[in-house]
Amino acid sequence: MDAEAETGIKTITAAEFFDQDPEFQEAMLNLINIHVVSEVYGADCFERSILRAPSPEMKQRMARTVMEEYGHHLRFRKLMEELGFDWQEYARRKGHLTTFDTPIDTWVDQVVFLAIVDRAAAHQFRHFVRSPYEPFRRAAQETLKEEYGHVGLGMDGVKELLATPEGRTQVEAAVRKWVPVGLQSFGSDNSPRNALYRRYGIKQDTNENMRAVYYDQIRAFITQDWGIAMPEDFAEIWSPAGRPEQERAY
């Protein structure tokens, strides 16, 4: 049984890419390019946290995370090269995700980022693993497994910090800093680009719905496991109202 019959997902190979609708080609190239640019930018940001980590064990885990982020860049770059595109030329036209506009200044920032904002990326990748473009789908599957590991590092790092009153205070401040960033990363409500992705099966839900599901998930563990109060409605801390289409979001 072939993959399409087994999974129910339409499969488009690299050899078939240029036979597709130009809108589909543009949508896929946009997503691939986002990762080519942002994975290496994020890795550069994360690299500084290796020495900030509080123990050799955490330094090793952080170093592995950085290595995997550079690997994500190489993985998605290969998809561009397989199609005969100059990835550097495309990268010059694309800014990194707005996620990285907020600086990661401390170890607390880093682990809360991994626990909260990398989790938002994992929510996106759960859609990408059903993409009809097989090379992108395969890259997304490999990347999602590693993103779960990064989230796990963040959760373990936060757990250590919550063991002391000083650490708890720092985590509470970092939560207020990074939750809005995670919410923003889903892009605008009523996004034309999201509608395009859904039309071609690259995503299966709206930005609004994905953001709501994400917030319910993070609010559950932040309030129950971390003991930090969060409003029931994320509009109290971040509102998409009046925000323009965010080209530097997924």
Amino acid letter, residue 16:
E
* Two tokens, residue 185: 């990363």
Q: pLDDT value at position 193?
A: 87
Q: pLDDT value at position 7?
A: 43
Instruction: Inform me whether the pLDDT recorded for 242 exceeds 80.
Output: no
Q: pLDDT value at position 89?
A: 78
Instruction: Inform me whether the pLDDT recorded for 2 exceeds 70.
Output: no
Report domain 20-228's class. mainly alpha
Mean pLDDT of the residues in the chain: 90
Q: pLDDT value at position 74?
A: 96
Could you read off the pLDDT of 72-110 as tens digits, one per residue?
999 999 999 999 998 887 777 766 778 889 999 999 999
- φ/ψ of 133, rounded to 5, equals -85, 105
% of the chain exceeding 70 in pLDDT: 91
CA distance 117 to 110: 10
Instruction: Inform me whether the pLDDT recorded for 6 exceeds 50.
Output: no
Domain boundaries, the chain: 20-228
pTM above 0.85, yes or no: yes
Residue range 182-193: mean pLDDT, rounded: 88
Could you read off the pLDDT of 130-172 as tens digits, one per residue?
999 999 999 999 999 999 999 999 999 999 999 999 999 999 9
How does DSSP assign 63-113, residue by residue? HHHHHHHHHHHHHHHHHHHHTT--HHHHHHT-PPPGGGGS---SHHHHHHH
Tell me the three state secondary structure of residue 197: helix
Q: pLDDT value at position 9?
A: 61
Could you read off the pLDDT of 215-241 as tens digits, one per residue?
999 999 999 999 999 999 998 888 765
Q: pLDDT value at position 241?
A: 59
Q: pLDDT value at position 8?
A: 53
> Does 38 or 94 have the greater pLDDT score?
38
Do residues 132 and 202 lie in contact, with contact meaning Cβ atoms separated by under 8 Å?
Answer: yes
Cα dist. 146→3, 31, 143, 149 in Å? Answer: 23, 18, 5, 5
Do residues 75 and 140 lie in contact, with contact meaning Cβ atoms separated by under 8 Å?
Answer: no
Q: pLDDT value at position 250?
A: 62
Range scoring the smallest mean pLDDT among 92-106, 196-210, 236-250: 236-250
> Does 189 or 249 have the greater pLDDT score?
189
pLDDT interval class at 5 (50, 70, 90): very low
The residue among 2, 31, 29 whose CA lies nearest residue 14 is 29
Q: pLDDT value at position 192?
A: 87
Do residues 151 and 121 lie in contact, with contact meaning Cβ atoms separated by under 8 Å?
Answer: no
